[in-house]
Structure 1
Amino acid sequence: MYWNRRGVLVARKRWSELDERTRRLIVAASVVEGILKLAALIDIARRPAAEIRGSKRRWATAVTLLNSAGAVPIAYFLAGRRQPGTHS
């Protein structure tokens, strides 16, 4: 049980209680997030530290541990990488 946005105590649904569409959306979102995380981790491992803004270890930890609906891997790809040759 948990409190929803309106302050009402509601019971969580079990997987078997979800409709087929909702289950498919959850599975699809999980697959997309997994692919994004894997791609980001591979890029972090292969890219030289000079081409990453911040610590490679911190980016890898954030990508791995934060459940973010894909936001952390996307943030890494948009803001965490430097173009080769630019070290500002």
Structure 2
Amino acid sequence: MKKKWSELGPVERAAVLALGSVQVALAAAAWADLATRPAARVNGPKKLWALLIGVNFVGPLSYFRWGRRPAQAEHRER
């Protein structure tokens, strides 16, 4: 059953706000990373990832797990 905002208790409201904040922060971090990462270091098309990042928690977490390619080995040895 869906509740209206006015029907939620203080703890429920705080939980909704906290989860919403985490979701927005994850998406913002993923979009910022995607915007600054060269296309050669992204698995798949950047436009597709930009859309997928907007899907709740799943999109940003998927991008961080599967969407990014690591830096080349010679860069890690420095």
Give the shorter-chain TM-score range: 0.7 to 0.9
Q: Percent identity?
A: 37
TM-score, scaled to structure 1 = 0.77
Q: CA deviation at 1:62?
A: 1.2
CA positional deviation for 1:85: 2.0
> Per-residue deviation at 1:22?
0.7
* Letter matched to residue 65 of structure 2: L
AA aligned opposite 1:28: A
- CA shift for structure 1 position 84: 1.4
Which structure has greater strand proportion? 1
Size of the aligned set, in residue pairs, is: 73
1: CA distance, partners of 2:63 / 2:30: 7
Unaligned runs of 5+ in 1: 1-9
Matched to 2:61, the amino acid is: I
Which AA in structure 1 matches 2:63?
Y
Return the offset for 1:13: 1.6
Specify every segment of 5 or more residues in structure 2 that has no aligned partner in the other structure, as ranges. 74-78
Aligned positions of 1:46-61 closer than 5 A: 46-61=36-51
Give me the whole-angstrom Cα distance separating, in 1, the residues matched to 2:20 and 2:47: 24
Which protein is richer in helix relative to its size?
Answer: 2
Matched, 1:23 2:25: no
Question: Hey, what does 2:63 align to over in structure 1?
Answer: 76
Cα RMSD after superposing both structures: 1.3
Q: TM-score, normalised by structure 2?
A: 0.86
Q: Distance in 1 between matches of 2:71 and 2:39?
A: 11
